[in-house]
Structure 1
């Protein structure tokens, strides 16, 4: 949600809300305008190649050397003492993360429609960043669902044995939706997206993502190679969404070497000053 042209004050609130929401959605599909988007695309393609090669190698190594050993060392499913892990792992559940971000977007739209001038611009700038977070996770999740269905890898001990090579492609059942891990995918997509906007939060967010990935192993929901695959898909998906936004000058810009960087965003302190009638710095 970038700051659209000023909407006439004579419109009633429902019309203000409809106009703000429509323009905020339209900005996502407008034609790319950044003059350096080709350089950014080439740089992203190189990063994708390196990440995919390294990730695929790690997945194969883990599948061959660690998956079976790791799941045999984990406590049995349903162990009573694992209840804190079961609560913690839900912080990486795609539906919860997406609904939370969607709710935040709705709140921003409702508030922005009641504002005007600088105040509205600040709220819509924050909304654009929420759109980026939401679409980074959603895009990665959709890619992950296609891969899960196509690969059809069985979860740990599906079939009764610790068999890391239990594949039934196009099975389409929850028992064979193991690769990539949806929780790891969601957590790493969110971590990359938040870190791209606010670099100071990178360490915290990637620590969160690693913790979520570990909970999936302890709960015997996934093999180590599954969470590695989820991390790879989440980061690659978020990178693609970041390029989409940068090419349209939404929250990001592109340097001459193709590096994408976040533009300065609205700070919460500025929201407070505007709300109290003070001018923004």
Structure 2
């Protein structure tokens, strides 16, 4: 779209609604029944769109934070998103639906919502679009915040390079925004002009940022390039420091510290700002949603996975000893290592999670609704104080990460399944979102550690998946557990020397 075409469209919409303000009332009257009012809240289509827009905003915020932090870890280079793309998405959300719509306009124009005005059984006076009014003081009608959040999806359509696919994506985003806005109109929360101008504002912001950041050849402000941290034009001392940082960040210890810092910051932000409002929002969902997500969350229980993998390990090892399976004994033992790995990943991370639950003693959401309790009570054994971290999120994350290590081809499916089951624990108010993030992070770290223990024990799990048996290496357990440095390393070497001397005495050379 050319700039002049968009400007003409905005001016035309403004003139139309100023010349014909009655269009707003006439359109809203289509959804109003005298004596009954507008459509009741909770109508499935409108209710689903209402909650979906909120979830999209949270998901985008998490994506922006995660994509920014991922650029600090060299091993995640395959997942890096261009700094300008991150800035484009973040600024589009912050400036359009955030600053302009929900801060500047909704709290200052003062337009009363449809259900507030006299024409629809209220006490306030109708005011045309764009006209300042004193009929509302906060969170007013002009413009629609939820419609703006839905129209925000045009931001992602701008990122599609193929012209035809971009047009289809743009049409889909605009249709979603229109549908969300229609739902708000049907509930009596907004006028037609509120939705139209919300779409125009969000589209204008996204289009302008896209032109400024991603299309024009002119160099953007220096602070945008600094997001990348890889093309800063640093002086030689600064460049040396940056290279040293990259080398440290690429080490296992550096990756662990950086990932722990990122997860901790995210958990703290959720606990401080989002856990409580999200829990209250989930609590208000219809019972049907709770029943669906309750069934989904049951898939995160650890018991079944532990029993299945343990029985599989025992059965495979036993079968390898039976004469009729002697020809396949090596393959059976190899497969048993796969079952042992999954069992160990779920069990080890589960032990850590249960220790942390007692240590932190976070109150579960149900006590927030019943007694207004929202705090941490350290070292509590009561299950009502075991919200942080989430055990179900830990179980499903450990399982999905283990499966990804074994069968990496289906990574996207593991991510979707794991996220859906983990988040369901927050939807049913069994946990807060911060609990889920903490549980998932701890499970991922422990599963990767268990994988390293198997590797240091001489077990290549990729070969085990293919049925190739490998004998467990005879190395001290402190080495297998990754405790080869410092005092543990010296003790480990001492234990290894003693074991070697004992073995040589039991089996002297030549016998």
* Structure 2 length-normalised TM: 0.40
Residue 366 of structure 2 aligns to a residue whose secondary structure is coil
1:167 aligns to 2:376 (yes or no) = yes
Asked if the contact 2:337–2:464 (Cα under 8 Å) also holds between the matched residues in 1, the reply is: no
Residue 411 of structure 2 aligns to a residue whose secondary structure is helix
Aligned match of 2:315: 107
C-alpha distance in 1 between matches for 2:252 and 2:407: 20
C-alpha distance in 2 between matches for 1:199 and 1:138: 21
Aligned match of 2:477: none
C-alpha distance in 2 between matches for 1:78 and 1:132: 40
Residue 158 of structure 1 aligns to a residue whose secondary structure is helix
Mapping of 1:46-85 within 5 angstroms?
Answer: 46-75=254-283, 79=287, 82-85=290-293
1:120 aligns to 2:320 (yes or no) = no
Aligned match of 2:500: none
Mapping of 1:238-249 within 5 angstroms?
Answer: 238-249=447-458
1:96 aligns to 2:304 (yes or no) = yes
Asked if the contact 2:425–2:431 (Cα under 8 Å) also holds between the matched residues in 1, the reply is: yes
Residue 367 of structure 2 aligns to a residue whose secondary structure is coil
- Structure showing greater relative contact order (alpha-carbon pairs closer than 8 Å, 6 or more residues apart): 1
1:196 aligns to 2:396 (yes or no) = no
| Offset of residue 162 of structure 1 | 5.3
Query: Which digits, 9 at most, give the CA deviation of each residue in 1:111-137, with x for residues without a partner?
Result: 222255541111111110111111011
Query: Which digits, 9 at most, give the CA deviation of each residue in 1:132-175, with x for residues without a partner?
Result: 111011000000000000000011131525554x1111111110
Query: Which digits, 9 at most, give the CA deviation of each residue in 1:183-241, with x for residues without a partner?
Result: 00111111111111111132222222101111101110000100000011100110110
What is the number of equivalent residue pairs in this alignment?
Answer: 216
Which one has a larger percent helix, Structure 1 or Structure 2? 2
For the structure 1 residues 178 and 240, does the alpha-carbon distance in structure 2 shift closer, same or farther, using more than 3 Å as the test?
Answer: same
Aligned match of 1:35: none
C-alpha distance in 1 between matches for 2:355 and 2:329: 38
Farther-moved stretch of structure 1 (104-113 vs 166-175): 104-113
For the structure 1 residues 81 and 232, does the alpha-carbon distance in structure 2 shift closer, same or farther, using more than 3 Å as the test?
Answer: closer
Mapping of 1:186-265 within 5 angstroms?
Answer: 186-252=395-461, 262-263=462-463, 265=465
Query: Which digits, 9 at most, give the CA deviation of each residue in 1:18-67, with x for residues without a partner?
Result: xxxxxxxxxxxxxxxxxxxxxxxx94323221211110010001111210
Asked if the contact 2:358–2:381 (Cα under 8 Å) also holds between the matched residues in 1, the reply is: yes
Residue 74 of structure 1 aligns to a residue whose secondary structure is helix
C-alpha distance in 2 between matches for 1:76 and 1:104: 42
Farther-moved stretch of structure 1 (45-54 vs 190-199): 45-54
Structure 1 or 2, whichever has the larger Rg, is: 2
RMSD between aligned residues: 2.2
* Structure 1 length-normalised TM: 0.71
Query: Which digits, 9 at most, give the CA deviation of each residue in 1:84-112, with x for residues without a partner?
Result: 32222121111222112112223322322
C-alpha distance in 2 between matches for 1:77 and 1:175: 22
C-alpha distance in 1 between matches for 2:444 and 2:289: 32
